[in-house]
């Protein structure tokens, strides 16, 4: 065993004095093998442990804690189903009850000694605690919790409980704290009223009260947000200072020629977006802009305008879409708008047959506009002079794809301008976090002449009525989508209900309510040619109703479609539901969206708040805010590959203000020191790269 002097954060746990050997296997299973890792295992929350009192001193209406022996238990099967136990302390009885938790009968047996905590309520002559927290007292001598205290709760496993982790950390914390080096300057800590790093660890692992715990958490949350923002800002600075893009000219003449291509006049909001984008593109500083606009707001027209600017300057432009279906649709739309023009438009997808020819035209620079899926990123796709890359529905692509597209420029030291488009409405603060290196343009509202979409949520028991209604609308000549969560029906593991799949539903509808109406399936496992043919037929109106998976989620633009039925709506996220709803009401006829909710179960007896929200509003920004409230930051936004998935302490909703501070501080810091190259910045740089480097695609910069 090394002397205390030789202990470092990388000292193996088995070499540490004071750590109980029996906790080692459990800690190892959690990946906690050395001192540094153990200390970095932060509590997931804190809870108050009330002081224990004898049962006859407990008071109704208070959170109380007591111990005693279980003398009797029983299961009650009539509703409300529950498990009951009697706890005796010195001849006084405390009743315990767990609702909808019959499994408790396997955990709690007569003869056991328990410590229980919860809110006491009057029950007959005595008191009862419903759904108490329990601790099984194995040891007669388990010390009495004589004073209430706050304790950290750690994520644990079968092998080791949170309390044992707490003990392990507590036993080595004093060894570790002096070894922790702070990466933030004292002046910043003072300005933000944050504790030094060692103090923060002490506060979060061993708080005396709730205030302590929050103070420690706040420092560590700030650290995460600041490191993320430093990375994001550093990337932006690098891009702007070291790389150049072709400056694209725009004359009155060109503007007129581009506008003449659209069968409508652009809305003020589209014009505003175009003004901002055109200004960006006219500079040789690389554009890096997020174009955000709700489903149906008309982003494609703005994108086409920008692409035609590139073509007019003798360069090429590319548009990358997340699915083949969407790429094909953009291709069809744009080719139609550019019919009889000199602009050659090409498609690049994984399953195309005329690929070789397309690649040749692209490499020679004759293809002015190239539309494709991520197949565009493949090495054999070479551009002669790519000036602009547009990425549709950015939330499905990560920073790596953006970087790969940037690298498609053939001239050293230059990079194409990049615009990313998203319909996923992102609250401003979050947009700036995820895409902090992007400038943001928002298209507000929808083009005129759109009738609103009415949304209704109906229980599954009314399913037959929904299809009868659908039949009526189809008989009137309208078109519809029916969306289900799966291609094939499947049993659900957690309930008796079966999830309807595309194939079975087509059979069911053809044989029943929709007999004699041309309907067709659409899903990702269909052959490409068949899928394209089905879409063409739907566009032409010869197929009147598509029964589909979420493959139709983004971008499908068929103005004649007016009805959207979503089966098992609870299975979809709010963002998906909103996107799906955006497929109807795109023409002048009003749209209807019907969400079929699953039957309530004992686990989720309430109607889903998401469906309620869908009924209440069609405004994507309101939905995003609402979803943020309901689910926290894990909801609407696909955080993967945006840096956000590395956030362990910070909660973007709760820590909004902290995020704003971190963003400002990071900005100033990077302005002063764009590469964090000063000797006293080495630690902050290293920690930033370690946490966010690869997610942000920063490796090349560092």
Q: Write out the DSSP string of 231-250.
A: HHHHHHHHHHHH-B-PPPP-
The mark string for 277-306 relative to ligand ADP (x by CB under 6 A, - otherwise) is ----------------x-xxxxxxx-----
CA 440 vs CA 38, 188, 277, 292, 308: distances in Å:
41, 28, 10, 7, 21
Q: Output 584 or 696, the one with its CB closest to ligand ADP.
A: 584
Least distance to ligand ADP from the beta carbon of 337, Å? Answer: 9
Give the three-state DSSP class for 610: helix
Binding mask 539-558 for Mg ion (x = CB under 5 A): ----------------x---
Give the burial string for 120-149 (b: 16+ CB within 10 Å, else e).
beeeeebbbbeebebbeeeeeeeeebeeee
Is there a contact between 688 and 646 (Cβ–Cβ < 8 Å)? no
Q: Residue 296 touches which of ligand ADP, Mg ion, none (CB < 5 to 8 A by kind)?
A: ligand ADP
Place of tokens 């790596």: 400
Per-residue tokens: 158 = 């079968």
- Tell me the closest approach of the beta carbon of residue 584 to ligand ADP, in angstroms: 12
What is the rounded distance in angstroms from the CA atom of residue 433 to the CA atom of residue 336?
Answer: 37
Q: What is the DSSP letter of 652?
A: T
Alpha-helical regions (H) of 449-587 = 463-475, 502-511, 528-540, 574-581
Which residue from 69, 135, 508, 557 is in contact with ligand ADP, where contact means CB under 6 A? 557
Distance, in Å, from the CA atom of 188 to the CA atom of 345, rounded to the nearest integer, reads 53
Q: How far apart are CA 593 and CA 582, in angstroms?
A: 9
The distance of closest approach from Cβ of residue 418 to ligand ADP in the complex, given in angstroms and rounded to an integer, is 18
The reply on whether position 576 binds ligand ADP by CB under 6 A is: no
> Of 35 and 258, which has the nearer Cβ to ligand ADP?
258
Which residue stretch of 58-66, 260-268, 495-503, 691-699 sits at the interface with ligand ADP (rule: CB under 6 A)? 260-268
Q: Write each residue from 496 to 535 as x if it is in contact with Mg ion (CB under 5 A), else as -, in one continuous string.
A: ----------------------------------------
Q: Confirm or reject binding of residue 266 to ligand ADP (CB under 6 A).
A: yes
Q: Return the residues of window 121-160 that contact Mg ion according to CB under 5 A.
A: none
Q: How many CB atoms lie within 10 A of CB 34?
A: 17
Both structure tokens of 119: 């809110």
Considering only residues 531 through 550, tell me which ones interact with ligand ADP, judged by CB under 6 A. none
For the bound state, the minimum distance from the C-beta of residue 427 to ligand ADP, rounded and expressed in Å, comes to 19
CB of 455 to ligand ADP, least distance (A): 18
Closest approach, Cβ 329 to Mg ion, in A, equals 9
Min dist. Cβ of residue 636 to ligand ADP (A): 16
Q: Whole-number minimum distance, CB 627 to ligand ADP, in Å?
A: 19
Q: What is the DSSP letter of 450?
A: P
> Of residues 93, 531, 586, 653, which one binds ligand ADP by CB under 6 A?
586
CA atoms within 13 A on the CB side of 18: 14
CA atoms within 13 A on the CB side of 443: 30
Kindly compute the dihedral angle of the four CA atoms of residues 84, 89, 94, 98, in this order, to the nearest 10 degrees: -30
Closest CA to 643 of 90, 114, 232: 232
Considering CB distances under 5 to 8 angstroms, the limit depending on partner class, which of Mg ion, ligand ADP, none binds residue 418? none
How far apart CA 306 and CA 183 sit, in angstroms, is 43
According to the binding rule CB under 6 A, does residue 585 interact with ligand ADP?
Answer: no
Tokens of 162: 């949170």
Nearer to ligand ADP, 543 or 554 (CB): 554
Smallest distance, Å, CB 551 to ligand ADP? Answer: 16
438: enclosing H helix or E strand = none
| Residue nearest to Mg ion as judged by C-beta position | 555
- Give the closest residue to 302 by CA, choosing from 420, 451, 436: 420
For 700, other C-beta atoms within 10 Å of its C-beta total 9
- Interaction between residue 296 and Mg ion (CB under 5 A): no
Q: Pick from Mg ion, ligand ADP, none: which does 585 bind, CB < 5 to 8 A by kind?
A: none
Smallest distance from the beta carbon of 588 to Mg ion, in angstroms?
Answer: 19
| Torsion angles phi and psi, residue 9, rounded to 5 | -65, -20
| Contact set for ligand ADP, span 431-460 (CB under 6 A) | 447
Looking at the Cβ atoms of 298 and 501, the one nearer to Mg ion is 298
Which of ligand ADP, Mg ion, none does residue 447 bind to, with CB < 5 to 8 Å depending on kind? ligand ADP
Is the Cβ of residue 66 or residue 558 nearer to Mg ion in the bound state?
A: 558
Straight-line distance from the first to the last Cα atom of the chain, in angstroms, rounded to the nearest whole number: 38
Q: Per rule CB under 6 A, is residue 329 in the interface with ligand ADP? A: no
> DSSP secondary structure string, 477-507?
T-EEEEE-SBSS-EE-SSSS-EE-BHHHHHH
Q: Rule CB under 5 A: is residue 620 a binding residue for Mg ion? A: no
- What are the tokens at 676? 């964090």
Place of tokens 């509202």: 445
According to DSSP, the residues that pair with 94 across neighbouring strands are: 87, 127
Smallest separation, CB 161 to ligand ADP (Å)? 50
Closest CA to 219 of 244, 234, 239, 199: 199
- Nearer to ligand ADP by Cβ, of 553 and 567: the residue is 553
620 lines the binding site for ligand ADP (CB under 6 A): no
Number of residues located near ligand ADP, criterion CB under 6 A: 17
Total residue count of the chain as it appears in this document: 702
457 makes contact, choosing from Mg ion, ligand ADP, none, with CB < 5 to 8 Å by partner type, with: none
* Contact partner at residue 401 from ligand ADP, Mg ion, none, CB < 5 to 8 Å by partner kind: none
In the complex with Mg ion, which residue's Cβ is closer, 11 or 394? Answer: 394
Find how far residue 653's CA is from the centre of its chain. 13
Report the alpha-carbon distance of residue 454 to residue 660 in Å, rounded.
37
Q: What is the pairing mode between strands 591-597 and 490-491?
A: unpaired
Provide the minimum distance between the beta carbon of 300 and ligand ADP in the complex, in angstroms, as a whole number: 3
Q: How far is the CB of 256 from ligand ADP (least distance, A)?
A: 16
Nearer to ligand ADP, 291 or 597 (CB): 291
Cα 596 from Cα 564, distance rounded (Å): 11
- The answer to whether 623 and 425 have CB atoms below 8 angstroms apart is yes
Among 270, 373, 589, 618, which residue sits at the site for ligand ADP (rule: CB under 6 A)?
A: 270
Q: Which is nearer to Mg ion, 152 or 555 (CB)?
A: 555
Q: Which does 301 bind (CB under 5 to 8 A by kind): ligand ADP, Mg ion, none?
A: ligand ADP
Per rule CB under 6 A, is residue 464 in the interface with ligand ADP?
no
Which span sits near ligand ADP by CB under 6 A: 38-46, 261-269, 539-547, 668-676?
A: 261-269
From the CB of residue 410, how many other CB atoms can be counted at a distance below 10 Å?
13
Work out which of 29, 45, 264, 530 binds ligand ADP, going by CB under 6 A.
Answer: 264
Q: Is the peptide bond before 166 cis (omega within 30 degrees of 0)?
A: no
Q: Least distance to ligand ADP from the beta carbon of 356, Å?
A: 30
Report the residue number, 227 or 614, with the smaller CB distance to ligand ADP.
Answer: 614
Place of tokens 């540094």: 36
Using CB under 6 A as the binding rule, whether residue 626 contacts ligand ADP is answered as: no
User: Can you give the binding site for Mg ion, defined by CB under 5 A?
Assistant: 555
For ligand ADP, the binding residues (CB under 6 A) are 264, 266-267, 270, 293, 295-301, 423, 447, 557, 559, 586
């Amino acid at each position: 065993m090394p002397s205390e002097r030789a202990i470092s954060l990388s000292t193996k746990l088995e070499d540490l004095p004071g750590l109980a050997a029996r906790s080692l296997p459990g800690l190892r299973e959690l990946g906690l093998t050395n001192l540094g890792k153990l200390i970095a295992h932060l509590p997931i929350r804190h809870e108050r442990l009330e002081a224990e009192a004898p049962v006859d001193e407990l008071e109704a209406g208070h959170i109380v804690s007591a111990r005693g022996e279980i003398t009797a238990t029983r299961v009650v099967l009539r509703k409300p189903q529950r498990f009951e136990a009697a706890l005796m302390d010195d001849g006084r009885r405390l009743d315990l009850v767990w609702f909808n938790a019959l499994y408790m009968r396997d955990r709690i047996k007569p003869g056991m000694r328990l410590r229980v905590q919860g809110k006491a309520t009057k029950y007959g002559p005595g008191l009862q605690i419903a759904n108490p927290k329990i601790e099984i007292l194995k040891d007669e001598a388990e010390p009495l919790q004589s004073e209430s205290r706050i304790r950290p709760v750690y994520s644990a496993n079968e092998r080791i409980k949170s309390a044992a982790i707490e003990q392990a950390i507590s036993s080595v914390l004093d060894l570790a704290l002096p070894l922790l080096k702070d990466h933030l300057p004292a002046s910043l800590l003072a300005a933000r009223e944050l504790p030094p790093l060692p103090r923060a660890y002490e506060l979060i692992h061993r708080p005396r009260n709730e205030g302590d715990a929050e103070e420690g958490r706040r420092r560590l949350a700030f650290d995460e947000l600041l490191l993320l923002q430093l990375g994001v800002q550093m990337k932006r600075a690098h891009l702007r200072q070291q790389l150049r893009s072709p400056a694209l000219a725009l004359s009155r003449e060109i503007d007129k020629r581009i506008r003449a291509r659209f069968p409508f006049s652009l809305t003020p909001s589209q014009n505003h977006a175009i003004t901002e984008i055109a200004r960006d593109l006219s500079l040789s500083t690389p554009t890096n802009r997020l174009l955000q606009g709700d489903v149906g707001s008309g982003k494609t027209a703005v994108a086409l305008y920008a692409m035609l600017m590139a073509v007019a300057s003798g360069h090429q432009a590319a548009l990358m879409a997340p699915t083949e279906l969407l790429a094909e649709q953009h291709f069809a739309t744009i080719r139609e708008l550019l019919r009889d023009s000199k602009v050659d438009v090409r498609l690049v997808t994984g399953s195309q047959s005329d690929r070789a020819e397309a690649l040749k035209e692209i490499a020679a620079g004759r293809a002015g506009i190239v539309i494709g899926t991520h197949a565009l990123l493949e090495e054999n796709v070479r551009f002669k002079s790519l000036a602009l890359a547009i990425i549709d529905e950015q939330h499905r692509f990560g920073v790596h794809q953006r970087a790969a597209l940037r690298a498609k420029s053939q001239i050293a030291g230059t990079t194409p301008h990049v615009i990313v488009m998203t319909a996923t409405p992102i609250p401003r603060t979050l947009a700036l976090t995820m895409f902090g290196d992007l400038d943001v343009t928002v298209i507000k509202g929808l083009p005129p002449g759109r009738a609103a979409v009415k949304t209704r949520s109906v229980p599954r028991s009314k399913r037959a009525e929904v299809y009868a209604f659908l039949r009526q609308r189809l008989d009137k000549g309208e078109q519809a989508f029916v969306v289900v969560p799966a291609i094939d029906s499947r049993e659900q593991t957690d309930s008796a209900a079966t999830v309807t799949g595309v194939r079975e539903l087509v059979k069911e509808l053809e044989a029943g309510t929709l007999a004699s109406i041309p309907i067709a399936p659409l899903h990702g496992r269909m052959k490409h040619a068949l899928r394209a043919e089905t879409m063409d037929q739907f566009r032409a109106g010869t197929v009147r109703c598509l029964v589909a998976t979420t493959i139709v989620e983004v971008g499908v633009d068929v103005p004649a479609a007016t009805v959207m039925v979503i089966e098992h709506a609870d299975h979809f996220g709010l963002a998906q539901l909103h996107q799906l709803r955006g497929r109807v009401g795109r023409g002048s006829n009003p749209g209807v969206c019907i969400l079929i909710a699953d039957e309530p179960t004992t686990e989720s007896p309430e109607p889903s708040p998401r469906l309620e929200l869908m009924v209440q509003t069609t405004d994507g920004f309101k939905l995003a805010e609402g979803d943020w409230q309901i689910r926290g930051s894990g909801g609407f936004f696909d955080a993967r590959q945006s840096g956000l998935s590395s956030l362990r302490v910070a909660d973007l909703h709760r820590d909004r203000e902290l995020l704003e501070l971190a963003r400002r501080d990071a900005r100033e810091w990077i302005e002063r020191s764009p590469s964090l190259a000063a000797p006293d910045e080495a630690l902050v740089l290293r920690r930033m790269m370690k946490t966010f480097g690869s997610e942000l695609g920063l490796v090349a910069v560092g």
